[in-house]
């Protein structure tokens, strides 16, 4: 018979990969999962559309060595949110840890998060701080910090995303009850829906993941399209009753400026205003 302790610490890891992912990054990500101090009893990997032969080779290699890696191919690419919703249906455990295929877990990430969730059954979702790197994990240039406690997180969520999605552990039933991933940005909307549903949040005040960052992302995410998407998302939050009309206006204005400003100013804002800089 399975011990109570082992049952409490059972959890799933939920991932999605698509054709443009780099095989070497995916290998590093999977390596970091299967060398944890607390191992998952299943890893659910959604192939979001056809992949390259190189990515299939990486996946096949890990499947040979880890029978708890379960892969579910999809015929077409439908985006991260849809892929994660599909993956949630395959997860057998209530506790689900998210992981992206280009990030790297610190060795004790799952032990820290799963232990916390097990010892605090009133918490429905937790995340941690993240160290952001460009070339390798020994060259961390910034850290994304977040408020710790639920009340502070609620206030923060009215302005910015309240958790670090690549590090979250959440209760599967709560995510599904809140409607899962939807719209843009799919993770931010989910957190707001969970907050409105009465879910309790917590952010561990230590970094448990190396986040692979590229300034090219900020170059690509400028322009009117992203500005309009941000405004629509902010209007949606207001219609949901989460933010006031004043907060809708100020959030839309600030985000619009960031989206429409020249690339070098957008990168400057990110590096020196929105992040904690590492010395």
In tens, the pLDDT along 169-204 reads 999 999 999 999 987 788 999 999 999 999 999 999
Residues in a beta bridge with 73: 47
Give yes or no for residue 35 having a pLDDT over 90: yes
The answer to whether the CB of 128 falls within 8 A of the CB of 112 is: yes
Q: How far is CA 211 from CA 27, 43, 166, in A?
A: 15, 19, 8
Mean pLDDT of 23-43: 97
Residues 6+ apart with CB under 8 A from 156: 146, 147, 162
Q: What are phi and psi of 239, to 5 degrees?
A: -65, -30
The answer to whether the CB of 169 falls within 8 A of the CB of 155 is: no
In tens, the pLDDT along 47-106 reads 999 999 999 999 999 999 999 999 999 999 999 999 999 999 999 999 999 999 999 999
Closest CA to 242 of 199, 201, 203, 189: 189
The answer to whether the CB of 259 falls within 8 A of the CB of 222 is: yes
Please give the pLDDT value at position 222: 66
Q: How would you classify residue 195: left for phi > 0, otherwise alpha for psi between -120 and 50, otherwise beta?
A: alpha
The answer to whether the CB of 204 falls within 8 A of the CB of 126 is: yes
Q: What is the DSSP string of 216-276?
A: HHHHHT-SHHHHHHHHHHHHHHHHTTSS-HHHHHHHHHHHHHHHHS-HHHHHHHIIIIISE
Give yes or no for residue 11 having a pLDDT over 90: yes
Give yes or no for residue 124 having a pLDDT over 80: yes
Please give the pLDDT value at position 266: 64
Find tokens 């910090």 and name the residue.
145
* Alpha helices, H only, 34-142: 53-65, 80-90, 109-119
- Identify the helix (H) or strand (E) that includes residue 132: strand 125-133
Please give the pLDDT value at position 141: 80
Q: Is pLDDT larger for residue 236 or for residue 153?
A: 153
Q: How far is CA 132 from CA 61, 140, 270, in A?
A: 28, 6, 12
Residue 278 is given by DSSP the state P
In tens, the pLDDT along 224-261 reads 777 888 888 889 889 889 999 999 899 888 877 777 77
Give yes or no for residue 273 having a pLDDT over 70: no
Give yes or no for residue 139 having a pLDDT over 50: yes
Quote the distance between the C-alpha of residue 187 and its chain's center: 7
Please give the pLDDT value at position 1: 37
Distance (Å, whole) CA 265 – CA 262: 6
What is the pTM for the complete model shown?
0.88
3-state DSSP assignment of residue 173: helix
Q: Is pLDDT larger for residue 250 or for residue 221?
A: 250
Residues 6+ apart with CB under 8 A from 113: 97, 126, 128, 167, 169, 204, 208
């Amino acid at each position: 018979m399975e011990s109570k302790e082992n049952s409490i610490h059972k959890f799933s890891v939920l991932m999605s990969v698509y054709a443009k992912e780099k095989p070497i990054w995916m290998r590093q990500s999977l390596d970091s999962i299967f060398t944890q101090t607390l191992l998952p009893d299943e890893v659910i990997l959604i192939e979001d559309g056809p992949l390259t032969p190189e990515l299939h080779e990486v996946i096949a290699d890990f499947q040979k060595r880890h029978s708890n890696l379960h892969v579910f191919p999809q015929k077409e690419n439908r985006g991260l949110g849809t892929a994660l919703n599909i993956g949630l249906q395959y997860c057998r455990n209530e506790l689900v840890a998210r992981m992206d295929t280009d990030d790297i877990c610190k060795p004790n990430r799952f032990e820290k998060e799963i232990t916390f969730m097990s010892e605090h059954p009133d918490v429905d979702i937790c995340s941690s701080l993240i160290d952001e790197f460009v070339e390798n994990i020994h060259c961390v240039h910034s850290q994304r910090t977040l408020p710790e406690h639920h009340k502070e997180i609620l206030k923060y969520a009215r302005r910015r995303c309240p958790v670090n999605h690549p590090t979250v552990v959440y209760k599967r039933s709560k995510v599904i009850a809140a409607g899962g991933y939807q719209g843009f940005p799919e993770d931010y909307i989910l957190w707001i829906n969970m907050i409105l549903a009465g879910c309790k949040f917590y952010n561990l005040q230590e970094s448990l993941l190396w986040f692979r960052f590229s300034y090219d992302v900020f170059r690509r995410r400028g322009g009117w399209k992203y500005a309009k998407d941000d405004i629509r998302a902010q209007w949606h939050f207001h219609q949901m009753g989460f933010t006031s009309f004043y907060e809708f206006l100020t959030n839309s204005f600030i985000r619009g400026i960031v989206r429409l400003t020249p690339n070098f100013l957008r990168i400057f804002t990110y590096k020196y205003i929105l992040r904690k800089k590492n010395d």
